[in-house]
Amino acid sequence: MAESLKAKAVVDSIKADLVQRVEALKARGITPKLGIIRVGARPDDLFYEGGAKKTADSIGLAHQVFEYPEDISQEDFEKAVLEIGANKEINGILMFAPLPKHLNEKKIRSMIPVEKDVDCMNLASAGKVFADDETGFPPCTPTACMEMIKFYGIPLKGKRVVVVGRSLVVGKPVAMLAMREHATITICHSRTVNLPAVCAEADILIAAIGRAKMIDSSYVKPGQIVIDVGINPDPDNPGKYCGDVDFASVEPIVDKITPVPGGVGSVTTIVLCKHTVMACEMQHSA
């Protein structure tokens, strides 16, 4: 039976650290603040926003939501984003995407200042992540994977990490972060030949695919550590969600595995807060 790498202990540990860092900033007269930019009111965005605000409250991090109508013009939205970017009270910016189709999202993303870009919306931030420049924030989900790996004392140096998924929001950046820790990386995708055999070679397998329960017992071997990033509607339990890994099939074989729910996804909002506190510290470093 595999060890279940649960999020709660990871979140509690990050929170304890952040509470102290926020207090230290407040003692200097600085209140770190997260700005959340939302166009429209998609239920998923509202759900994530509610979680982010609650997590921010729990560590004393201030927050402000900037909400705009779905039919906002490019010109008005650009002006708003530039104003938020220049607002000295806002240290970190989360912008929900995708934006409505009439907006030029690429242009808007590039307007988020890199030093406030706590979820890596701007390609310039991604460039920093790929260049191992720690002044660029990775997206929160890859950082959440790394927080799980670090908290549970999983060594990466010299280990073989196989990432399934090559998106800019999860697959590619998590591969870069693992390589930063001296892992040897393989990135797989929908055209990878003989994926089960490639996955079975991993010491650490990271699934970021978006296919419910795709990774089953045929992809894994004893001794492996499996990090499941997937969040998908569960085909077997309507109204519930599941990962990209078939937990029931994989868990009896591997050494450690992150559950869904209660795994990587539950660490992302505290990472968002951590990035914002880090951004604030950097903006106010002497």
Q: Which residues bind ligand NAP (CB under 6 A)?
A: 141, 164-167, 169-171, 188-192, 195, 208-211, 229-232, 244, 264-265, 268
Using an 8 Å Cβ cutoff, are 188 and 198 in contact?
Answer: yes
Give 95 or 195: the residue with its C-beta nearer to ligand NAP. Answer: 195
Task: Round to whole Å and give the CA distance between 126 and 120.
Answer: 6
Q: Is the peptide bond before 69 cis (omega within 30 degrees of 0)?
A: no
Task: Round to whole Å and give the CA distance between 24 and 26.
Answer: 5
Q: How far is the CB of 285 from ligand NAP (least distance, A)?
A: 29
Structure tokens at 84: 């938020």
Q: Is the dihedral angle over the CA atoms 155, 279, 25, 284 positive or is it negative? A: positive
Give 72 or 141: the residue with its C-beta nearer to ligand NAP. Answer: 141
Nearest to 233 by CA among 217, 251, 210, 215: 210
Give 244 or 251: the residue with its C-beta nearer to ligand NAP. Answer: 244
Q: Is the dihedral angle over the CA atoms 236, 242, 247, 249 positive or is it negative? A: positive
Q: How far is the CB of 182 from ligand NAP (least distance, A)?
A: 24
Length of the chain: 286
- Characterise 70 by phi-psi region: left (phi > 0), alpha (psi -120 to 50), beta (else): alpha
Please report where in the chains the tokens 């938020």 appear, as a residue.
84
Q: How far is the CB of 144 from ligand NAP (least distance, A)?
A: 6
Give 194 or 285: the residue with its C-beta nearer to ligand NAP. Answer: 194
Q: How far is the CB of 269 from ligand NAP (least distance, A)?
A: 9
Task: Round to whole Å and give the CA distance between 284 and 77.
Answer: 28
Give 108 or 145: the residue with its C-beta nearer to ligand NAP. Answer: 145
Q: How far is the CB of 207 from ligand NAP (least distance, A)?
A: 8
Which residue in the shown chain puts its C-beta closest to ligand NAP? Answer: 167
Task: Round to whole Å and give the CA distance between 62 and 16.
Answer: 17
Give 88 or 191: the residue with its C-beta nearer to ligand NAP. Answer: 191
Q: How far is the CB of 267 from ligand NAP (least distance, A)?
A: 8
Q: How far is the CB of 6 from ligand NAP (least distance, A)?
A: 14
Give 79 or 189: the residue with its C-beta nearer to ligand NAP. Answer: 189
Q: Report the interhelical angle of 123-130 vs 171-180 (nearest 10°).
A: 30
Chain-centre distance of CA 151, in angstroms?
16
